[in-house]
Structures are given as structure tokens and as C-alpha cells.
Structure 1
Amino acid sequence: MEFLLDTLNLEAIRRWSEILPLAGVTSNPTIIKKEGKIDVFKRIKEVRDIIGKDSSLHVQVVAQDYEGILKDAAEIRKQAGDTIFIKVPVTTAGLRAIKTLKKEGSKVTATAIYTVFQGLLAIEAGADYLAPYYNRMENLNIDSAAVIRQLSQAIEQQRAASKILAASFKNVGQINQAFSSGAHAVTAGPDIFEAGFAMPSIQKAVDDFTADWQAVYGKNHL
């Protein structure tokens, strides 16, 4: 299992990189918008400094046409290095670009996946990661878990190198379901990870243990 953080907020990345077994950081134009009009590639370099060279970093193209996607990808590689994962939406132009980028040796995350068909094509195109949008699919009455299961089965049957990086979550339950359906990785915002530790029973159990120890030994440490 891989846990990635879906944000470019430096404070959040610093905090959660110290807590989580963090496998990487993902971003997209909407994530960037939340940070204001930042110097994007300066921010990417700052993120890399925090998470280290062994964690994956995913940056999305903005252009929608084939030539534009390749130009964006070239700029991303130029500014962020060849270890970056270039996120490309699985459209007709995007799929064509993924094939070209893989031939050039780029690492690619196929994103904006809503259907099994998109995912299967991305696998065949050689995408390193597939990013199905879990909550967005549910909002469209698409069985997100079933989509992930079918893609997972296809990867296993073909012994493909692609991994499923599920994205777009509104709660921890969806993350659990994504993993149980066959996702290899998930990316979620800091608020989702925060919610995962917000259950009052967790803190109560810890407080009870401390109180019991203090009742006997008069201190709150060993």
C-alpha cells in the first residue's frame, strides 16, 4: 500500500511527512489554485526538498491537445527533473500523449479516470499509475469499487507494471474500500488523513492508559 498526499501546502506536507509512511505527493491545477498565484516550479522544488528524492511527485499538464500536452510535459521535466510523474488526463489526445511520453522514457500518471475502458487503455499505453476518481464516480452513480476491481484484475492477468492510484476521496471509508477493491495506492488531502485520527475513542483509550499508569506510579511516562 502507498499513501500519498494530495496538496502543495508546505505546512501540511511537512506535518504529514513526519507522521505518515508517505510515498509521495500529488497535485493538479485545482490543488495549485488553492495555494494562490504561486511560482509552481519553485513550490515543486520545495516539496521535493521536504519529501526527499525517493518519494514520488506527480505534476499535471494543463494543455488539452496532443502537442500542448507534450510541451507541458517537456517543461515539467525541464523544471522538475526526470524523476517526476507527469499526470495526463485519459482523453483521446491524452492517451496519444501517454504513448509518446512512455516511448520517451517519462514516468506517467494517467488521471481523470471514470471508466474501466479508460483504465484499460491507459494500462495498454504503459501508464505507471492509473488515477480513478473514487468520489466523483460515486457522485455519477458509477460503482467506484467495481471499476477498481476490474482494473486490478486486468493488471494482474496481464502482469502489467501499472499501479492503481485511487484519488478523489471524501472520507476514510472510501479509502478503505479502494484498497480492499485492489488499489495499490491512494492520494488524499490533509483533511482526510486528519479525519482518520479524529475518532474520540482513540484519544479516550490513550487517556485511560495514562490515567491508570499515573494512579499507580504518579507520573505520565516510564
Structure 2
Amino acid sequence: MKIYLDSAQTGSWKLPAGCPSVQGVTTNPSLVHQAGLPVNLPTYLDLLQAAADHGFSELMLQLPSSDLALAAAWLDALRALSQRLSIQLTVKLPCAPEWATCIQWVKKQGQPILLTGLSNPVQLLWAREMEADYVAPYVGRLVNDGRNVWALMQACVAQQNAGPQLLAASIKSPDVLAQLMGLGAAAVTLPPASLVAWSSDALTQAAIQQFDRDIQASLRGV
């Protein structure tokens, strides 16, 4: 399973020991805004450079508008820089019919695409017809809405052999991450803080402390 950091805060991209290797970074306009950055082309170009500086091989960026003229201008600049930096660029677009023309145009440019916000199986079938490379359902939001999230995750995994790869987002607990790993999800995206928090565990630390106590007791002949 590939892991992507879900953050536009480049200062959080450096992870401590104990965290698994990450493939790259994925972000969206909301995360860019939350990082205190303007959602504009210079910001996106800076994020590409930061990804290269951190040694990441991939960056997933969401276009802010379905306007084809704007998409063309942004994509030209982003592709040129990503090629110079040897960064695999994936373009994120909302999984919504009003974006269909833009999705088809980006795909015709030979650009990998991720359809984000997928929430039901009809959208999954549509994403496959649109030849999406990835689909990104927001798992936590689906759970909060009372959806049968695991039926949808199973459907996404079943499509992976001949359709889009599942990149699960909005993962709120290590138990959900474990379920996605067990299902065979191709990728997940996690906030850096979650990776850091889950890289250690109170049960593991309790076992280590017990080992230490028992070692000392054995040396005292207790």
C-alpha cells in the first residue's frame, strides 16, 4: 500500500523515525487555505519544489476551476516544472458531472488524474468510464454520514485490476487503516500528525517497560 501525506504545510512533511516511507504528498484547495497559503499557481509551483526538496517522487494537486483556459495555463506550468524535478504529477479533480469536460481534457493530455470526493458506487462506475487513474473517497465523512462505507471500499478494491486505484482519504483511526490494508486498498492519504501519532503505541511501550523490569529483576535474582 502506498502512503501519501495529506498536507500543504511543508514543515510537517519531515517525519520522525518509526514512520513508514511515504510515496509523496496530496493536497487540495482547503488544505492549501488551512496552511495559510493562497490557492494560486505560484503556491502550487512552490509545493512541487518542496516535494522535490523532501525527496518525494509524487505530488497530487487539485485544480481550482473547471475552466479549460485556466486548466491549460496551470497544467502547462505544473507539468514543465514536474518534469524538470522528476516528480510524478497527478491532477486531482472533483468526481462530479459538471467537471466532465475538464476531466476529459486533462486525460487527453496524457496526465494521470484522481477523482476526489467519490461517495457512491454509481460515481465509481462513472469514474471508471472517465478512465480515472485514482478515486479518493473520504472515508471519515462517509462514516459520519451513516453510509455503508465498507461496501463501497470493497467495490473500489474490486475495480482496481482494470479500473481506478483506490486512494482512501479522511482516515480517522489506525483500526480503519488496518481494515483498508486488509481489503487491499492501493493507497491511503494521511495527515502527518496521524502518521506520527500512530508510529508508537501505549501497548508497545508497556511491553517494553515490562521487559526492562523483568531484565532488572532477573539480574537481581528475584
| Partner-residue secondary structure (3-state), 1:5 | strand
Tell me how far apart the structure 2 counterparts of residues 155 and 106 of structure 1 sit (CA, whole Å).
19
Preserved contact between residue 24 and residue 51 of structure 2 (Cα < 8 Å): no
Aligned to 1:45: 49
State how many pairs are aligned: 213
- Are residue 86 (structure 1) and residue 88 (structure 2) matched? no
TM-score norm. by structure 2 comes to 0.82
| Partner-residue secondary structure (3-state), 1:8 | coil
| Partner-residue secondary structure (3-state), 1:21 | coil
Aligned to 2:166: 164
Cα offset, 1:199, TM superposition: 2.6
TM-score norm. by structure 1 comes to 0.82
Preserved contact between residue 93 and residue 116 of structure 2 (Cα < 8 Å): yes
Cα offset, 1:75, TM superposition: 4.2
Distance 1:71 1:89, change over 3 A: farther
Tell me how far apart the structure 2 counterparts of residues 18 and 96 of structure 1 sit (CA, whole Å).
43
Per mean C-alpha deviation after superposition, the further-off stretch among 12-21 and 2-11 is 12-21
Distance 1:104 1:204, change over 3 A: same
Per mean C-alpha deviation after superposition, the further-off stretch among 117-126 and 95-104 is 95-104
- Are residue 6 (structure 1) and residue 11 (structure 2) matched? no
Letter in 1 for 2:146: N
| Partner-residue secondary structure (3-state), 1:14 | coil
Q: Using CA pairs below 8 Å that are at least 6 residues apart, which structure has the higher relative contact order?
A: 2
Aligned to 1:188: 190
Unaligned 5+ residue runs, structure 2? none
Cα offset, 1:128, TM superposition: 1.3
| CA root-mean-square deviation | 2.6
Aligned to 1:125: 130
Tell me how far apart the structure 2 counterparts of residues 30 and 116 of structure 1 sit (CA, whole Å).
25
Identity of aligned residues (%): 25
Per mean C-alpha deviation after superposition, the further-off stretch among 145-154 and 66-75 is 66-75
